[in-house]
Structure 1
Amino acid sequence: MYLLENHYFVEEKEFEKTLKTIQDNDDKLLQFTILTHGDCNFRCKYCYEKFENITMSKETEDTIIDFARKQLDSGKFDNFSVNWFGGEPLLGYKTIQRLSAAFRDLCQQRGIVYGASITTNGYLLNLKVFHSLVVDNQVKSFQITIDGDEESHDSQRILKNENQTYKRIIDYLKKMLETDLDFECRVRFNISKENYQNVINFLYKDGQLFRPDSRFSFAYHTVGDWRKGDRTNNYCIKLLDYDAGFELAERAINEGFTVRSHEWRLNNAFTCYANRVNHYMFNVRGIIQSCTVALYNKENIFGNINIGFIDDTKLKK
């Protein structure tokens, strides 16, 4: 029943119709993912990234703006979407502000719809920054990870100096709840053997804060072997041998929470941003890549914005 109600089964030809609609929309969408900073203030146990304390230069910012201008002048696009990523993107908050202002101007001048999202750990997302992102920088979609209750979260998602993070993030989320701003926030849970029960416990504790507010939704993802990044003290994590996301999503739905895991999975199964011809990912040095997970794979690199080089052959694969 759960699978039927949440559209895991599709009627005849619905698959083809859905795929065509997504592809048609993609053709008119220009999409950037921008890594604003090379470092992160967290050292999560399962993180695959390697970090360096480097900000995006003004020259790289200007070159990205010029590239966006040329793309938007082509007349192919009705929409321009930017996802702010990292590292921790809020370490590069000034880059977000400068590029957002330029992108909004470009779109306004051309009658193109602009929107932005951010994937952040939430530790720097105080009310002032949150308000500015939504109102001034057109960031309407947030993804923030909470790995269960306080005990498990502060085991899996710690600061670089090994201090705890849960209470501060929950406090900032409460302040977001208290606003009347137009936004959506996906609270993501990364599920391991260690925190499976803690993720369930969260629903009946602090999770109750979010149930009445449709701006907040939950998404459940089982931790995989994402390779070792800059973990401290040889942290390791015990992996589940099955995908627990579906059963935890079902439990949350039955408890009255908004869950968008199935929508996210359906969309990305067909149109992972790395496969979109009109998607470009820029790292902090201006290297053009396709995927935020395969950051250190040479096959993931197809250009350098600072020297104006793009390998179109790789891009179209």
Structure 2
Amino acid sequence: MRRSRYTVIVEDGDETYLIYNTLSAAFLKVPGSAVRFLLDDPDWSRPSDDLSPFQRYLHGLGVLVDSELDEGEASRGLLRDHHARQDRMELFLLPHENCNFRCTYCYEAFARNKMEPWVVEAAKQFVLKRSGTLRSLQTSWFGGEPLLGYDVISELSAFFVEVCRQAGVDYQSGITTNGYLLDEDKARHLVRECGVRQFQITLDGPCEQHDRRRHLMGGGGTYERIYRNLRSLKGVEGSFNVLIRVNFDHEVGGAMDDFLSRLRDDFTDDPRFLVHFFPIANLGGDTSDEINDLPLCDANATRVLEYQLLEKAVDHGFRTLTRDQLGPLSSTCYASDPRNIIIGADGTLYKCTVAFDDPRNHVGVIQPDGSLQLDQARFDLWTEHAGASDPHCRSCTLNPTCQGMACPLHRMNTENRACVPMRSDLPRTIRLLARELSKEAERCQSR
């Protein structure tokens, strides 16, 4: 018996330690005396019949493993088994590829408008043909701004929901929207009739900073209307989550205290609302020069500021995406999954939502009968398991989390791995998760 290569032990003050295993997702807080045997001897090993009761407990959690276990193969097997499941599919749809915003950092070209009618019918036929082999279907509405194609979402959702109901397929949906058109009636319809269970809506900090970056196509602010629509979502009954995405740079990061206090006052009484923070980056497109004019943070400053913002949000009572990003396979890119496909408004098939103009991302075309005409060589660029042959990825503690497939586009562009950001400070991420779970437990006890 020995310590798992995927076990991370982090000091948490007052002689207590946090233990997290990235393969089993086991997470516990223990006194230092309980794990002193591992802290004092990194190469600790013991016959399996000579374990204390607590050590046997740790073995059951995967914190300790059999000495002969090939953990690297066990980690890689997670991804193989996951991708081998042909009864699950994730379908991204672009009901409208134009947008009512012109954000200063946007990478999209807005070359197309609403999804063409023949593509709508082709998407229906695609799902109908596949429904007999599926146990679950996840659709994600993206754009442009998907709510400009609200009628397309409604039509396709009604069809998907009914086909899945008849075939016994679990159906769920999510939408990434700027939130400007998401009034309460639309939100209620999306939840009740369209199966939407996840909303992602962006607020870039306080009103002044947000409106400078996320303004209407013809000019004009958007913050107050989005905020009003967010608040109206609280009145919609149903089981769904709302991720408030906050894109930040150095300037926005320095003006967050009042903004987070307002979010706390308005949303922490509804556990369906989460907050997370994403650094603004230059992803190309026509606004690249404008992006470079923004006060972007360097990589180290970005990570420090992101943790500070996350800690403030947690202290205010918000849930974040931290726990979701730490689990097995949670940081593999959707584009790397062979069961994932994106259907564009003109029928073009893609794998990645941040590289629509990259020819390598044009992996095929949907046919009117719902069949997919794929360019298999391009498709395979996104799905090949490059991390399996990368010695750095194979030896990394976070291998079960990202499998070396955090961003196929980065690897294709640079021939280098794209490490998940939390790798640079994994102990702080684990402490943040403990802090969030502790706050959550305190709220449960006070109810």
- Normalising to structure 1: TM-score of the pair? 0.89
- Is 1:100 the counterpart of 2:157? The answer is yes
- Is 1:281 the counterpart of 2:345? The answer is no
The 3-state SS of whatever aligns with 1:194 is: helix
Provide the C-alpha distance between the structure 2 equivalents of 1:234 and 1:188, rounded to a whole number of angstroms: 18
Provide the C-alpha distance between the structure 2 equivalents of 1:111 and 1:297, rounded to a whole number of angstroms: 37
Structure 2 unaligned residues grouped into runs of 5+: 1-9, 13-17, 26-70, 385-447
- Structure 1 stretch displaced more, 173-182 or 152-161: 173-182
Structure 1 residue corresponding to 2:90, chosen from 31, 42, 57: 31
Provide the C-alpha distance between the structure 2 equivalents of 1:191 and 1:104, rounded to a whole number of angstroms: 37
Provide the C-alpha distance between the structure 1 equivalents of 2:350 and 2:267, rounded to a whole number of angstroms: 35
Q: Do 1:39 and 1:88's aligned partners in 2 also have CA atoms closer than 8 Å?
A: yes
What is the CA-CA distance between 1:182 and the residue it aligns to? 2.0
What is the CA-CA distance between 1:258 and the residue it aligns to? 1.4
AA in 2 matched with 1:48 = Y
AA in 2 matched with 1:11 = N
Structure 2 residue corresponding to 1:198, chosen from 243, 248, 255: 255
Q: How does 1:1-317 map to 2 (within 5 A)?
A: 10-11=20-21, 13-14=23-24, 24-25=81-82, 27=85, 28-52=87-111, 54-73=113-132, 75=133, 77-229=134-286, 236-242=293-299, 243=303, 244-264=305-325, 270-306=331-367, 308-316=372-380, 317=384
Q: Do 2:187 and 2:236's aligned partners in 1 also have CA atoms closer than 8 Å?
A: no
Provide the C-alpha distance between the structure 1 equivalents of 2:206 and 2:346, rounded to a whole number of angstroms: 36
| Shift in alpha-carbon separation, 1:94–1:199, aligned structure 2, 3 A | same
What is the CA-CA distance between 1:193 and the residue it aligns to? 1.8
What is the CA-CA distance between 1:178 and the residue it aligns to? 2.6
Q: Do 1:148 and 1:201's aligned partners in 2 also have CA atoms closer than 8 Å?
A: no
Q: Deviations over 1:225-276 (max 9, x none)?
A: 1123468989942211133322211221122221124524757764311000
AA in 1 matched with 2:375 = D
Q: Do 1:22 and 1:271's aligned partners in 2 also have CA atoms closer than 8 Å?
A: no
Q: Do 2:324 and 2:330's aligned partners in 1 also have CA atoms closer than 8 Å?
A: no
- Structure 1 stretch displaced more, 266-275 or 246-255: 266-275
Provide the C-alpha distance between the structure 2 equivalents of 1:39 and 1:220, rounded to a whole number of angstroms: 25
- Normalising to structure 2: TM-score of the pair? 0.64
- Structure 1 stretch displaced more, 271-280 or 305-314: 305-314
Provide the C-alpha distance between the structure 2 equivalents of 1:58 and 1:267, rounded to a whole number of angstroms: 39
Aligned residues: 312
Q: Do 2:79 and 2:329's aligned partners in 1 also have CA atoms closer than 8 Å?
A: no
What is the CA-CA distance between 1:108 and the residue it aligns to? 1.2
| Shift in alpha-carbon separation, 1:105–1:79, aligned structure 2, 3 A | same
Which protein is bigger by CA-based radius of gyration?
A: 2
Structure 1 unaligned residues grouped into runs of 5+: none
| Shift in alpha-carbon separation, 1:268–1:13, aligned structure 2, 3 A | closer
What is the CA-CA distance between 1:305 and the residue it aligns to? 0.5
| Shift in alpha-carbon separation, 1:232–1:128, aligned structure 2, 3 A | farther
| Shift in alpha-carbon separation, 1:215–1:25, aligned structure 2, 3 A | farther
| Shift in alpha-carbon separation, 1:239–1:138, aligned structure 2, 3 A | same
Give the fraction of aligned pairs with identical amino acids, expressed as a percent. 30
Q: Do 2:282 and 2:288's aligned partners in 1 also have CA atoms closer than 8 Å?
A: no
Q: Do 2:276 and 2:320's aligned partners in 1 also have CA atoms closer than 8 Å?
A: yes
Q: Which structure carries more relative contact order (alpha carbon 8 Å, separation 6+)?
A: 1
